[in-house]
Amino acid sequence: MPRAKSKHGIDNYKWSTHNNNPYLRTLFWPKVKKGITQAAKDLKIKISDRDIKWLDEFNGQYCKFVPKDCRTYTDHISNKQNRLIPEQLVISEMRKMGCIVGNSPRYSLSNKPGNTDFNYETQLRTLWNFLAMVGSKIAYSSMLILLIEKTIPPPPAVDSSILAACINHKWSKFDTPLTVNGNPIHDLNNNPMRCKESLSSPEAFNNFWAALSNLHMLRGNEGNYLNQCSECNKNYTKHSRKRYKKCNVSCILHPYPTGLVTRNVLLSKLRKDISSSTKAKSHVKIQRDALFPQDILKIHENIEKNNFILEDLRNYVMILLSLDAGLRYDGCQNKTVSNFNNHAKLWKIKDDRIIHLAHSVIEKKDSKAYTYKLHFKEIPKLCALRHLLVYVHCAKLGNNDSQFFPTNIQSSDGNDKSFDAEEMYTPLNYKDLYDWLKKNTGIM
């Protein structure tokens, strides 16, 4: 059984919402299917056959989607250990861990970048695991919105009080009793729950909040949030939708929570309290190291000592190209030969001398590709175009669809029989580049 080590270094911490927590597998997930199906029955909601099949096969585990264009997946398949494994086998192995490779149906209408979808899926999985621990009637009904497919009719919103408990679980001091407004929270076996304290900055909640907001709006829970009326809920579970009547004519609540839970007044107050807390004020942000011209020159000096091997030249061109256009890693990672060739009309070449080139870039939040010109710079060692031309001359890059910065490259005059042409279509692993930068600069 895999171990679940908490952020605080405790092996097998019972209240960890990490998927490797063995208690989830043995105590909490097995009760999920029964709890969710009963909640759906009470609320007159139909769960898809696909969800039922998944809950049966994976014993109540959350179905996490991993988009093919997210960095986690591209890094995973370009990892040194996976390069010789067929991609379909990698996909099969990921499924065994409760992950489906592909775009998430939960965000299919939002057209979000792969990295965003993946981050949202990660946030929702921690919420699923927390709700599975609580295992109450309201917890299971709150899980309906997290299923693979949208239920018919639309599912209830996540209950605000249980979401407040989840937020406290992430924020409050490690291994202290979990409470909401002074009231202790218990798990499905009536054991007092304790906090895991996985977050140290209020800003770390932003992804969690964004994931919930987007999911609620895409699954029919927009507008102001309304808590459920307990009396209306009792009437609703006893009668059909058509025969159900409110507890009284003046009741404005619903038999189950509706609306955008992130707009709930109590939750907004809780977030403000967290932001103004001593813990939040004492948090010191870790500043990322910047790359200055002297750092780039140091890299050049190091790879020059290493005889400018092709892998070093590839990485150096990638860094210079990113700096030249102010790109994220994503802007270079998936660049193909066609990103240059398709813009040949914008190149300027005079008397067999290159004046400038052009290439297209599409990054995380871009809805379309943008075109950038590449000019020669005054300092040769810092010139992206100069090194790019040498790289193109020396490297075997293949056709339009092949990666411009592949995970494995061969020199243009090489004839290495062990060279795998398929690797020309696999982007460079982020960790490999990160480690290379760290080695050659001493920062990061």
pLDDT of residue 403 exceeding 90, the answer is: no
Q: 351 with 301, same domain?
A: yes
Q: With respect to residue 17, please indicate whether it lies within any of the assigned structural domains.
A: no
Count other Cβ atoms within 10 Å, centred on residue 86. 10
| Greater model confidence, 421 or 56 | 56
What confidence category does residue 289 fall into, taking pLDDT thresholds of 50, 70 and 90?
A: low
What pLDDT, on a 0 to 100 scale, did the predictor assign at position 352? 86
**Cα-only R_g, the chain:** 26
pLDDT at 439 over 70: yes
Residue type, 171: W
CA distance 205 to 154: 26
163 & 113 share domain: yes
pLDDT at position 336: 86
Q: Is residue 1 part of a domain?
A: no
Q: Is residue 243 part of a domain?
A: no
Residue 175 has pLDDT above 60, yes or no: yes
Q: Which two tokens stand for residue 57?
A: 């096969």
Residue 379 lies in a domain: yes
Q: How confident is the model at residue 441 (pLDDT cuts 50, 70, 90)?
A: confident
Average pLDDT of span 79-101: 81
- Owning domain of residue 199: 22-225+260-282
Tell me the average pLDDT across 248-270.
85
The fraction of the chain above a pLDDT of 70, given in percent, is 88
pLDDT tier at 72, thresholds 50, 70, 90: confident
The strand pair at 99-101 and 353-361 is best described as: unpaired
Q: How confident is the model at residue 382 (pLDDT cuts 50, 70, 90)?
A: very high
Quick check: 127 pLDDT over 90? Answer: yes
Q: What is the mean pLDDT of the chain?
A: 86
Compute the average pLDDT of residues 3-25: 78
| Distance (Å, whole) CA 402 – CA 379 | 30
One domain, residues 322 and 390 = yes
Q: Does residue 231 lie within any of the structural domains? A: no
Percentage above 90 pLDDT, the chain? 50
Residues 314, 181, single domain; the answer is no
pLDDT beyond 60 at 420? no
Compute the distance between CA of residue 66 and CA of residue 317 in angstroms, rounded to an integer: 29
Provide the angle, in degrees to the nearest 10, between the axes of the packed helices 160-171 and 265-275: 10
Indicate whether 337 and 402 sit together in one domain: yes
- Average pLDDT score over residue span 113-139: 93
pLDDT of the residue at 250: 72
Residue 332 confidence class, pLDDT cut points 50, 70, 90: confident
Domain identity same for 200 and 301: no
Predicted confidence band of residue 326 (pLDDT cuts 50, 70, 90): confident
Q: Provide the pLDDT confidence category of residue 1 given band limits of 50, 70 and 90.
A: very low
Query: Looking at residues 395-407, what average pLDDT do you find?
Result: 82
Residues 143-168: what's their mean pLDDT? 95
If 0-12 CB within 10 Å is exposed, 13-18 middle and 19+ buried, where does residue 277 land? middle
Three-state SS string over the chain comes to CCCCCCCCCCCCCCCCCCCCCHHHHHHHHHHHHHHHHHHHHHCCCECCHHHHHHHHHCCCCCCEEECCCCHHHHHHHCCCCCCCCCHHHHHHHHHHCCEEECCCHHHCCCCCCHHHHHHHHHHHHHHHHHHHHHCCHHHHHHHHHHCCCCCECCCCCCCHHHHHHHHHHHHCCCCCECEECCEECECCCCCECECCCCCCCHHHHHHHHHHHHHHHHHCCCCCCCECECHHHHHHHHHCCCCCCCCCCCCCCCECCCECCHHHCHHHHHHHHHHHCCHHHHHCCCCCCCCCCHHHHHHHHHHHHHCCCCHHHHHHHHHHHHHHHHCCCCHHHHCCECHHHHCCHHHCEEECCEEEEEEEEECCCCCCCCEEEEEECCCCHHHCHHHHHHHHHHHECCCCCCCECCECCCCECCCCCCCCCHHHHHCECCHHHHHHHHHHHHCCC
Joined together, the tokens standing for residue 45 give: 């909601």
- Total number of domains constituting the chain: 2
Q: Are residues 278 and 310 in the same domain?
A: no
Please report, for the domain that includes residue 386, its CATH number: 1.10.443.10
Same structural domain for residues 215 and 71? Answer: yes
Per-residue pLDDT, 276: 93
Tell me which residue of 22, 97, 89 sits closest to 57, measured CA to CA: 97
The Cα–Cα gap between 57 and 47 comes to 16
* Range in 29-43, 64-78, 289-303, 378-392 the model is least confident about: 64-78
Do 392 and 318 share a structural domain? Answer: yes
Q: Are 214 and 332 in the same domain? A: no
- How far apart CA 326 and CA 55 sit, in angstroms, is 45
In a domain, 123, yes or no: yes
Lowest model confidence (mean pLDDT) among 21-25, 80-84, 300-304, 389-393:
80-84
Residue 423 lies in a domain: yes
Distances (CA, A) of 397 to 204, 408, 409: 40, 10, 8
Q: How confident is the model at residue 242 (pLDDT cuts 50, 70, 90)?
A: low
Query: What are the φ and ψ backbone dihedral angles of 443, each rounded to 5 degrees?
Result: -115, -150
| 192 and 336 both lie in a single domain | no
Q: What is the mean pLDDT of residues 174-198?
A: 95
Mean pLDDT across the stretch 305-309? 88
Evaluate whether residue 201 is within a structural domain: yes
Q: What phi and psi, each to the nearest 5 degrees, are found at residue 14?
A: -60, -35
Q: Stretch 219-237: mean pLDDT, rounded?
A: 83
Residue 207 reports pLDDT greater than 70: yes
For residue 140, pLDDT beyond 60:
yes
Please give the pLDDT value at position 5.
46
Tell whether 328 and 272 lie within a shared domain. Answer: no
Region 178-194 average pLDDT: 95
pLDDT digit string (tens) for 191-201?
A: 999 999 988 88
Q: Which residue has the higher pLDDT, 69 or 302?
A: 302
- Report, as an integer, the average pLDDT of 11-38: 94
